[in-house]
Amino acid sequence: MFSRSRRNLAKWFTLVMGSILLAFASVVYYLEVEGELEALDRLLYKKTQVMAASVKAEASGDGYQVNLDSVPLLGIAMPPDSGIVYARWYNAQGELVQFFGSIPPADAEVEIGFMTVKPSGSNTVGWLRQVTLPVYERGVLIGYLQVATLLAASEKALAEFRLILSFAIPVTLSAIGLAGWWLGGIAMQPIRQSYDQLQRFTADASHELRTPMATILSNAQVGLLSECNPQQRLRLENIVDDVKLMSTLVSHLLFLARYQGQVLETLRPVDLGELVAELVEDYAMRPIASHVHLSYLLPESAIKIQADAELLATAIANLLSNACKYTPPQGQVELKLYTELTDVVVQVSDTGIGIAAQDLPHIFERFYRVDPERSPSTGGFGLGLAIAKQIVESHQGKIQASSTVGVGSTFQIFLPLAYRS
């Protein structure tokens, strides 16, 4: 139980911290992308401004005559390591006048500002960063200068950053998981101490309660053997009955306290078919089942799982007891065993009085009785189904109930096939 709780704490701690770490890494990567792009844009803008400053224009009629001879790349050569892939000059009407590098597509439009483009064609060299700036002469637009450079350097820097993240994140997640496991152990210490104290208290209470009850019971039974008047005999018989009920109640409470939230680890191979058949045959001989038709249906092949046979028999017996108790004379009680995709199913169905829909969600609660008027001597303590549920969950299974008033009830125990031997 404590190991499972510790694993759950470590798991949820890792999930939460891992989610925060991934969100933080995503933000950092986004900022890194923005930073790389901003640095590249600044450099490209400076180069484009230098080229635009070399454009010469002379007044001619109503406009200007543009001279690009002194513009780097368009008129004069630039150093081969300039990083410029292409440079284009468009006139004020957006028509291509002169270019360096690849020929622009026919449908290319002039859009002022920065943009990332993927050039088409056989000479494709990868993603490009392009800037288009308007060029003015004395306040008059004389054309547009468009320049593009490779994004390879930025992509390489980002690839290296992603490589660092791909190593750093798993390592950090592992460290978080170990930290979660360690912190889970620290958090479980006071709980484990409290649980150990409760276990010791339970053991002590068991001894302290059972001993005086056994003494009272034996004295009352001895008193019944001696001569006494009818009034005294009635009182002694009441004492015997009450002590037996108290003993049963204490046993049930101790059982619930002992297996609370505990996953059984010491399991043995159990033949469920054999267990079910023995239970039904045993119950068929008891007075509680004398008024009903009790039967069972087993699969052709044996179903063996890892389980605690005694506890599992107690859980199934509690369901059988309720089915027989609340089924009218000549009614049917059937116990069926079969397998589903991932589970072994033990099903107890009856044609009894049924359970109202508003009571179904509460029937596995401790001390819950469908009919509050029932006393412990007639309707039990309301612990049988709670005990069955606790036993099933200690096998990592689950229990379900469905019922219709006046038609009958069906209880199903699902045990994982992972427990199958």
Identify whether residues 11 and 129 lie together within a single domain.
yes
**Residue 124 and residue 100 in contact, taking contact as beta carbons nearer than 8 Å:** no
* Biggest CA-to-CA distance, the chain: 143
Domain boundary among 102, 127, 156: 156
Is residue 237 a part of any domain in this protein?
no
Domain boundary among 100, 129, 156: 156
Is residue 211 a part of any domain in this protein?
no
Print the domain residue range for 383: 266-416
Residue-wise pLDDT for 62-88, tens only, equals 777 888 888 888 877 666 667 788 888
Identify whether residues 145 and 273 lie together within a single domain.
no
- What pLDDT shows up at residue 410? 94
Identify whether residues 274 and 401 lie together within a single domain.
yes
Residue-wise pLDDT for 286-316, tens only, equals 888 888 999 989 888 888 888 888 888 888 9
Identify whether residues 143 and 270 lie together within a single domain.
no
Is residue 377 a part of any domain in this protein?
yes
Local confidence band at 421 (pLDDT 50, 70, 90 cut-offs): very low
Identify whether residues 2 and 147 lie together within a single domain.
yes
Is residue 303 a part of any domain in this protein?
yes
388: domain CATH number is: 3.30.565.10
E-strand stretches of 184-316: 268-271, 293-297, 304-307
Is residue 204 a part of any domain in this protein?
no
Identify whether residues 3 and 134 lie together within a single domain.
yes
63: domain CATH number is: 3.30.450
- What pLDDT shows up at residue 286? 84
Is residue 224 a part of any domain in this protein?
no
C-beta pairs of 53-62 under 8 Å, 24+ apart in sequence: 55/89, 55/135, 55/142, 55/143, 55/145, 57/137, 57/142
Domain boundary among 107, 137, 156: 156
- What pLDDT shows up at residue 399? 92
Query: Given the DSSP bridges, would you call strands 293-297 and 332-339 parallel, antiparallel or unpaired?
Result: parallel
Which residue reads 């969600």 in tokens? 361
Identify whether residues 1 and 148 lie together within a single domain.
yes
Average pLDDT, the chain: 84
**pLDDT of 318 over the 80 cut:** yes
Residue-wise pLDDT for 231-256, tens only, equals 888 888 888 888 887 887 777 777 77
Tell me the torsion sign for CA atoms 107, 108, 109, 114. Answer: positive
Is residue 1 a part of any domain in this protein?
yes
Q: Give how many domains the chain has, as a whole number.
A: 2
Nearest by Cα to 258 from 187, 188, 186, 205:
205
Tell me the torsion sign for CA atoms 109, 110, 112, 113. Answer: positive
Local confidence band at 333 (pLDDT 50, 70, 90 cut-offs): very high
Is residue 240 a part of any domain in this protein?
no
